[in-house]
Structure 1
């Protein structure tokens, strides 16, 4: 019986011919399409052995084509894909961090489509500097004397330390030896730079005299790392930056700050966010500050280095700088993003990261109720749909102890559907939808759902139900 089933399996060529005119199939390279048909037939053979296929009619070309098309479309999709973020985490490290503003997206598109003055001065007709394209804008916005941009903040810290403190001791509070995503730690970056870590203080308390007692002949710099991704509460103390700057001036030492999730915007008091701005940090007289471009700034991935010219100039000349430099797409997106900050009110409206963080509880409640109403109309057979109070997060290592009030859409599956199975199958839809599971329900946070995505949630959930039915 099993041998007869194996003989009933159609050939690769038969199946290729059957699907060649189907929508989307013609754009798949022939070699890849053939491989996908072969893997599909391997699955058919496995289904025969396990008893899932036990009649020859299930192996007719007409019977196999719907399953084959689903297999081909699923497996031929790009690895790097858009997803719908319904988690409520605004700067979601795993989902691409910040969304860029429309002017920045258009600038990146221009940079990709056309030649540009990346390293060509339109004033002199000679070779120019890519950093000059954004340096003046950064200095105008922050009050820095000079600046440059590299490919991320870890690179910025590495380049800063390699230039200013290689082979010398860098004094840093023990409580600031942070680890960021992917197990990257400040001590490891320091070691790679050639700087020698000099820890001072206790985990929860560090005093000015701890820094001063650590200063010696081989001291190269004092470093402060903003603990943006965690907080110490209770009995703790750290030295304010202005006091550290005065200590550095007394001993003629540069004071460096790794600000992490850099912020150029003064958030409204109702958000409750107290992240320091780059402008306020530079006003303390700090020598150099570094921060990310794709977190609270809301731009592309970048590491921004700002500060006093006497320290920035040697950083620019460091040969390592070339290995860490940014490309034309990053420059285009960053410049367009920074230009929006020239008008803070406009930035709040146009930079998605800022507008999502600043969204009021009332706005989010209305948004949640509209979405919930639509889902009840079309999917009440599969879910009980509720709206409940909840909390969003800034993400990206910013304000880890602070919740942003929101209204969640709670989907409680009916008909024995496990919520964990629903969560997992939503990762296979087109586009995938990422929510969060709480209290035996799938929760969707409207804070991180864009306007056009609100219309997509229902169809995506219908896809998920279809996939669950197919897998049963």
Structure 2
């Protein structure tokens, strides 16, 4: 082709591109302007037309509309999406931890949708304190003297240490110096709280007398830390809570427990090892317990601090409290969730407990309904509780096994709308059914049937 013809073609392409004002004044972009506003649509149109000129391409009306609409959605949307959890981990940190029951969310939402007495004393008719809203329910559930809510458990532990141990030593077993998700390490939290870490014992064996021997005039507290995401087995020794309470009392020191998981009820009926609940820890003499509210409590993210009133009061007055405090949404959802425990309705109103309480025969029947009309199989599986709560334990469950290349299927289901997060076990792609919510079932069934198309 001659240079003259190329130039003529380029010139025709350039002439085909309309002006920005002409496009914005026409009917084509009216719906987008109504949705996104004229300024945003104009910006997207300019970028699209500039791209055509740079590539020396002709203007196409339908392509322009599609490109501008896609650009506007990308510019104004969050990447946060609903996903379906078929991973075999109930409290999956990467998937948002605990789901919230729609009815519970609706009750909390009625408080959040409008104004509330978040920091207003209705009796006195003047400013109040937001940290008082969970006092009664926590006192009832845990038999604690006082309670405080922060925006997560790391914040709660940080605030506690900054309030009671700043500039002084905190005794921690070497076997409890854990790193949790996101590379957050307990030693760093202690140091950021202004306290000095004093390690006691060894990684696999720490005795009560190790704590007693490490106490000096600089010691402010003894800290017990839940071993999130791992356990130590074999030649090991760890002092009991009763032994630590005895040491703390004899040395006139507070015993603090970063319990982490938020164990309100005994999990042994669901097949997990029996461990102390928060209430039992308080009853045994632990002075302050900190925990997450989006793990075994099953609510939204938050950090609960419960225990002795004198120590909670120090946390409440610390300057960090304002930086670490929770919002009205957290208070509303967490209060409703704790109320479900108080009313002994947690298996009905908190999804993670509904999942744990579902019998295997019900799970198997659910799986059979989902695979009807497909070539998938129902298999026995195991399910983890997750969130670092019971790191070495699983319970029996049921999964759907899908024939085909496991890696390809894993990717294909992630591309579903909504994405379905399964898992690959022994080179086989599976979808665990215990963590599926009621609203997930139809979409999982449709995705499975789509494999045969």
The alignment's TM-score, normalised by the length of structure 2, stands at 0.87
Displacement, 1:457? 2.1
**Is 1:213 matched up with 2:213?**
yes
In structure 2, distance between residues paired with 1:325 and 1:139: 20
Q: Given the superposition, is the C-alpha separation of residues 329 and 439 from structure 1 closer, same or farther in structure 2, using an over 3 Å criterion?
A: same
**Is 1:420 matched up with 2:407?**
yes
Q: Secondary structure at the match of 2:376?
A: strand
In structure 1, distance between residues paired with 2:44 and 2:416: 19
1:448 corresponds, among 408, 431, 435, to 435
In structure 2, distance between residues paired with 1:76 and 1:45: 25
Displacement, 1:274? 3.1
Q: Given the superposition, is the C-alpha separation of residues 21 and 447 from structure 1 closer, same or farther in structure 2, using an over 3 Å criterion?
A: farther
Q: Secondary structure at the match of 1:456?
A: helix
Asked whether the 8 Å contact 2:137–2:338 carries over to 1, the reply is yes
Alignment of 1:397-412 (within 5 A): 397-412=388-403
Residue deviations 1:57-97 (CA, integer Å, cap 9, x gap):
xx965688778877876776432222222212111111111
2:423 corresponds, among 428, 436, 439, to 436
Displacement, 1:21? 7.5
In structure 2, distance between residues paired with 1:463 and 1:25: 37
Match of 1:469 in 2: none
Displacement, 1:261? 0.7
Displacement, 1:201? 0.8
Match of 1:158 in 2: 158
Displacement, 1:269? 2.6
Q: RMSD of the TM alignment (CA)?
A: 3.3
Alignment of 1:99-118 (within 5 A): 99-118=99-118
Q: Given the superposition, is the C-alpha separation of residues 314 and 66 from structure 1 closer, same or farther in structure 2, using an over 3 Å criterion?
A: closer
Asked whether the 8 Å contact 2:161–2:195 carries over to 1, the reply is yes
In structure 2, distance between residues paired with 1:34 and 1:461: 42
Asked whether the 8 Å contact 1:82–1:431 carries over to 2, the reply is yes
Displacement, 1:15? 9.1
Q: Given the superposition, is the C-alpha separation of residues 189 and 63 from structure 1 closer, same or farther in structure 2, using an over 3 Å criterion?
A: closer
Match of 1:143 in 2: 143
Asked whether the 8 Å contact 1:162–1:193 carries over to 2, the reply is yes
The unaligned stretches of length 5 or more in structure 1 are 377-383, 467-472
Displacement, 1:111? 3.0
In structure 2, distance between residues paired with 1:461 and 1:25: 39
**Is 1:366 matched up with 2:354?**
no
Q: Secondary structure at the match of 1:242?
A: helix
Displacement, 1:272? 2.4
Asked whether the 8 Å contact 2:371–2:448 carries over to 1, the reply is no
Match of 2:255 in 1: 255
In structure 1, distance between residues paired with 2:127 and 2:209: 49
**Is 1:229 matched up with 2:216?**
no
In structure 2, distance between residues paired with 1:427 and 1:364: 23
**Is 1:312 matched up with 2:312?**
yes
Deviates more, 1:167-176 or 1:402-411: 402-411
1:27 corresponds, among 24, 30, 35, to 35
Q: Given the superposition, is the C-alpha separation of residues 181 and 36 from structure 1 closer, same or farther in structure 2, using an over 3 Å criterion?
A: farther
Alignment of 1:34-45 (within 5 A): none
Displacement, 1:31? 5.0
In structure 2, distance between residues paired with 1:34 and 1:406: 54
Match of 1:470 in 2: none
1:396 corresponds, among 387, 393, 404, to 387
Residue deviations 1:233-260 (CA, integer Å, cap 9, x gap):
1110111111101111001000110001
Asked whether the 8 Å contact 2:163–2:314 carries over to 1, the reply is yes
The unaligned stretches of length 5 or more in structure 2 are none
Q: Given the superposition, is the C-alpha separation of residues 7 and 111 from structure 1 closer, same or farther in structure 2, using an over 3 Å criterion?
A: farther
Q: Given the superposition, is the C-alpha separation of residues 8 and 401 from structure 1 closer, same or farther in structure 2, using an over 3 Å criterion?
A: farther
Displacement, 1:302? 0.8
Residue deviations 1:293-326 (CA, integer Å, cap 9, x gap):
1111001111111111222222222121121111
Q: Secondary structure at the match of 1:27?
A: helix
Asked whether the 8 Å contact 2:178–2:228 carries over to 1, the reply is no
Deviates more, 1:195-204 or 1:435-444: 435-444
Match of 1:386 in 2: 377
The number of residues matched between the two structures is 444
In structure 2, distance between residues paired with 1:73 and 1:462: 30
In structure 2, distance between residues paired with 1:207 and 1:327: 41
Q: Given the superposition, is the C-alpha separation of residues 40 and 357 from structure 1 closer, same or farther in structure 2, using an over 3 Å criterion?
A: farther
Q: Given the superposition, is the C-alpha separation of residues 452 and 21 from structure 1 closer, same or farther in structure 2, using an over 3 Å criterion?
A: farther
